[in-house]
Amino acid sequence: MTELDAQQSIAEGFKALSAGLPQAALRAVEAVNQEQFPRASLLVGHAHKALGNHDAAEAAYRTLVDKEDRRHYATGWWSLAGLKTAQFSAADGARLDTLIAGQDSDQDQDGYLGLLHLARAEIWHQAGLPDMAFAHLRAGNDLVAAARPFSGEGFRQLVDELLTIEAWPLPPLKGDEIQPIFIIGQPRSGTTLVEQILASHPDVNVTDELSFMGHRGADLQRDGGYRRSLASSPEARWQEYCQQYLDIVRPYCAESKAHFVDKTPENFLHVPLVLKICPNARFVHVVRDPLDNIVSQYRHFFPEGREYSNSLQGLIFYWQGYLMLMRHWSNLFPNRIHHLHYSQLVNATETEIRSLLSFCGLSEAPECFTPHHTQRPVMTPSAAQVRQPINRAGLDSGLSYGGALKDWLTDISKLKDASVGLFGKA
């Protein structure tokens, strides 16, 4: 196989993976020499992770950590850490310490070194030493943030404009039409678990974290402002967008079912736009404790977007905007938004699942109450967690970092008070 053929096969594999087809991704690189083309190993690891083959994913990622190119070994170490099922040894920790200590030139102070720090943090976290973990979390996130800074002013301006949007009469929900269900909230809040519950229903198709609404929101901003374009655009524009959106959704829907799920947490920004494009839409808003969620996001590296998550102040600022918007949308469209508290879901599982299914217009399918048995590709960082029975392991998970977060706890406590005041105990 020539280099050009190999690179083309790898590109096709990543395209298949991004379309939610990990088996096709694996087939695309069957003939590629992974030793010669390390990105094929990364693809194989990601595909096996999506399929729940954690041992195979770990083996693929470990081939990367042995590479000499720092881009490959840094990505390999972080991918191992992000797997959440890999068990690290003392030798792994010592290896990472040596790698980190050896990156002392100015040109090495970049996002790849940041990934090594984040991987080292995961090893300390596994060892039950959050203070040691936090030192690496901060070092790693600072390096990543320097490489891709968060535009806080841009986010503030968008939120301020969205808060001026007013309600309009919505048509009644129609049971004889396609019924999209949008799962929204903060990343790492339990949205993948809720998606897994709904995906277990025989009448529901599941897509992916689709970027369509975000891109259309950007179109509105460029066309004279989000609010203005939303209010003045003709119906033909929304019909055209709806057709474009359904064309993207269609490949995920091999079976003809009445409902489909779009789990893109950031769609909390675009609730009114979604309702213009899909008037039959429902929203499931997953609410998690701010401390638990902020720590979870800070411990994770998001390859694309979510730049706010690389600083604690950025996370707090993003949470503030998120709470203001969700309060606004809840006031404008109260009958279209179901607030689902992660803590209540894991503490009163059957009650909360019944309430969720009722809101979505779905029957109480038995499969929804044991979502860990559902065999499907899971493309998000929570792939390992949702294959376990619903449990309380994620509750109060941020408390162990309380000492390291003392400079931010006052602001995080205010977020919790605001969240409880708006949506009840999360």
Q: What pLDDT, on the 0 to 100 scale, is given for residue 426?
A: 57
Ranges in the chain, pLDDT < 50: none
- Domain of residue 372, CATH code: 3.40.50.300
Q: What is the mean pLDDT of the chain?
A: 94
Alpha-carbon torsion angle 390, 396, 398, 399, nearest 10: -150
Is there a single domain that holds both residue 163 and residue 79? no
- Domain of residue 122, CATH code: 1.25.40.10
CA distance 43 to 58: 12
Q: Which two tokens stand for residue 310?
A: 């690389």
Is there a single domain that holds both residue 398 and residue 261? yes
CA distance 107 to 113: 10
pTM (2 d.p.): 0.95
Residues in a beta bridge with 339: 285
CB 78 within 8 A of CB 86: no
Q: How many structural domains comprise the chain?
A: 2
Q: What pLDDT, on the 0 to 100 scale, is given for residue 213?
A: 98
Is there a single domain that holds both residue 214 and residue 351? yes
Is there a single domain that holds both residue 208 and residue 341? yes
Is there a single domain that holds both residue 310 and residue 330? yes
CA distance 257 to 88: 43
pLDDT tens-digit readout, 188-237? 999 999 999 999 999 999 998 999 999 999 999 999 899 999 999 999 99
Is there a single domain that holds both residue 128 and residue 165? no
Is there a single domain that holds both residue 229 and residue 180? yes
Q: What pLDDT, on the 0 to 100 scale, is given for residue 178?
A: 87
Domain around 41: 3-147
CB 211 within 8 A of CB 264: yes
Is there a single domain that holds both residue 165 and residue 125? no
Going edge to edge, which strands form the sheet with 204-206? 204-206, 259-263, 179-185, 282-287, 337-341
The per-residue DSSP string of 337-368 comes to EEEEEHHHHHHSHHHHHHHHHHHTT----GGG
